[in-house]
Amino acid sequence: MTCVIVGASSGLGRALAEELARGGHPLVLVSSDARDLLPLASDLTVRFGAAVRTVAADAAEHAGLAAALDRAVPSGQPITALLFPVGAVEQRDDGWLEPELAERLVRVNLLSVSSVVGRLLPRLISQGSGTIVGFGSVAALRGRSSNVLYAAAKRSLESYFESLRHLGEPRGLTVAFYVLGYLDTQLSYGSRLLLPRADPKRVAKRVCRALGRERGRRYVPWFWYPAGVLLKAIPWAVFRRLNS
Ligand SMILES: NC(=O)c1ccc[n+]([C@@H]2O[C@H](COP(=O)([O-])OP(=O)(O)OC[C@H]3O[C@@H](n4cnc5c(N)ncnc54)[C@H](OP(=O)(O)O)[C@@H]3O)[C@@H](O)[C@H]2O)c1
């Protein structure tokens, strides 16, 4: 039963690939560069005997990515799970980003997910089962003066996943959305952080253990739930000063 991971070459995606390969799942791994994917696929095959296909495609070209994935998972082969640890930030994402880069952020962080889901959803629905897993960020809890469009895309993604529950759950699908705290990966490298970074391997184990059972929105690590409630409750006049 195949698991598709979009954003599999590093960080959380790589850890999810390893965890699912260990569990005996055939995998389809996606990222932009075959030079990252091919050694990873060989490694997983050698260590776990996993059947691994790779799709090297730019997530910003989301319609092309969705079509390539549709071809990569042979029809008739059931899809167990679609997981989307894809994500990208831009250093100058401070509200003044050039339109091309701004659009790219939204394409990679939001539209890549909705396009792939849109393309593969009819297959999941005709199977009557399958899990769709999205990943948001605590960076989207409140609007800040950095990661402006990244956070906007992640908040939109959260809304998209809530809508997906309406569509998928009555048809037998499981839809889960993890709001992640900071991870110890290249995405957060060099950032000044309030709370500790989580190990992506531990997060991957947590997500895979619950795959197919857990639904709705969850905070990982758990302490981000109370932290998020507090952060959202801070009045603007105070929050404005914290963010300066
Ligand atoms: N790191 C954090 O502190 C943090 C905090 C909260 C939420 N998150 C979210 O958690 C998820 C995993 O984050 P991470 O830290 O593991 O990120 P990461 O190490 O940077 O990995 C991101 C993955 O997305 C892929 N990707 C990015 N741009 C792409 C593009 N244009 N086309 C195809 N693939 C692309 C990357 O592959 P290539 O770039 O090699 O193609 C990589 O496989 C993301 O959704 C992120 O937004 C992260």
Q: Is the pTM of this model over 0.85?
A: yes
Give the position, in ligand 1's atom list, of the atom nearest the Cα of 12: 16
Give the position, in ligand 1's atom list, of the atom nearest the Cα of 9: 43
Q: Is the pLDDT of residue 190 over 70?
A: no
152-169 residue pLDDT tens: 999 999 999 999 999 999
Cα dihedral sign, 183-185-190-196: positive
pLDDT in the model for residue 237: 95
What is the rounded distance in angstroms from the CA atom of residue 72 to the CA atom of residue 148?
34
Q: Is the pLDDT of residue 192 over 80?
A: no
pLDDT in the model for residue 78: 94
CATH of domain 2-242: 3.40.50.720
- The fraction of the chain above a pLDDT of 90, given in percent, is 91
Give the residue extent of every domain in the chain. 2-242
| C-alpha 170 to ligand 1 mean position (Å) | 30
Q: Is the pLDDT of residue 185 over 90?
A: no
